[in-house]
Amino acid sequence: MGVKQTCHVRNEVRRLRESSDLSQGQLAQAMGVSRQTINSIETGRYTPSLPLALALARYFARPVEEIFHDDTA
Amino acid sequence: MMTPRDPVDRATQRSILATAAGAAVFVAALLAIGSTSRPQLGLVLIVAVFAGLALATFVRNRRTHEGTDERARDNHRRAATVSWYVVGLALVATMAWTQVRQGVVAAEPYGYLLTLQLVSYAGTSVWRRWRGL
| Contacts by B105-114, CB closer than 8 A, 24 or more apart | B114/B88
Q: Which of residues 27 through 86 in chain B touch A, CB cutoff 8 A?
A: 64-66, 69-72, 74
pLDDT value at residue B3: 45
Q: What confidence category does residue B42 fall into, taking pLDDT thresholds of 50, 70 and 90?
A: very high
Count of A-B CB contacts under 8 Å:
48
pLDDT at B4 over 50: no
Q: Which of residues 15 through 44 in chain A touch B, CB cutoff 8 A?
A: 28, 32-37, 39-40, 42-44
Alpha-carbon span B93 to B105, nearest angstrom: 16
Alpha-carbon span A31 to A51, nearest angstrom: 10
Mean pLDDT on B32-58? 93
ipTM score of complex? 0.82
| Among B68, B85, B113, residue at a domain's last position | B68
Note the Cα B1 to chain centre separation in Å: 37
Alpha-carbon span B57 to A39, nearest angstrom: 21
Q: What confidence category does residue B1 fall into, taking pLDDT thresholds of 50, 70 and 90?
A: very low
Alpha-carbon span B61 to B75, nearest angstrom: 15
> How confident is the prediction for chain B on average, in pLDDT?
91
Side-chain half-sphere CA neighbours of A33 within 13 A:
25
Residues of chain B with pLDDT > 90, as a percent, come to 79
List pLDDT tens digits, range B77-131.
999 999 999 999 999 999 999 999 999 999 999 999 999 999 999 999 999 999 9
Angle between helices A24-31 and A50-60 (to 10 degrees): 110
Side-chain half-sphere CA neighbours of B109 within 13 A:
4
A67 close to A56: Cβ distance less than 8 angstroms: yes
| In a domain? residue B3 | no
| Among B52, B68, B84, residue at a domain's last position | B68
Distance from the Cα of B56 to chain A's closest Cα (Å) equals 16
pLDDT value at residue A73: 57
Co-location of B42 and B93 in the same domain:
no
Contact B6 A39 (CB under 8 A): yes
pLDDT value at residue A64: 95
Co-location of B64 and B77 in the same domain:
no
Q: A43: how many CB neighbours lie within 10 A of its CB?
A: 18
Which segments in chain A show pLDDT lower than 50? 1
pLDDT value at residue A2: 56
Co-location of B83 and B127 in the same domain:
yes
Strand A68-70 vs strand A9-11: parallel, antiparallel, or unpaired?
antiparallel
Secondary structure, 3-state, B17-56: HHHHHHHHHHHHHHHHHHCCCCCCHHHHHHHHHHHHHHHH
Sign of the alpha-carbon dihedral angle for A66, A70, A73, B4: positive
Structural domain count, chain B: 2
Co-location of B59 and B74 in the same domain:
no
AA letter at A24: Q
Boundaries of every domain in chain A: 9-65
Co-location of B74 and B133 in the same domain:
yes
Name beta bridge partners: A68.
A11
| In a domain? residue B112 | yes
Q: What kind of fold does domain A9-65 have according to CATH? A: 434 Repressor (Amino-terminal Domain) (1.10.260)
**Which residue range(s) make up the domain with B78?**
70-133
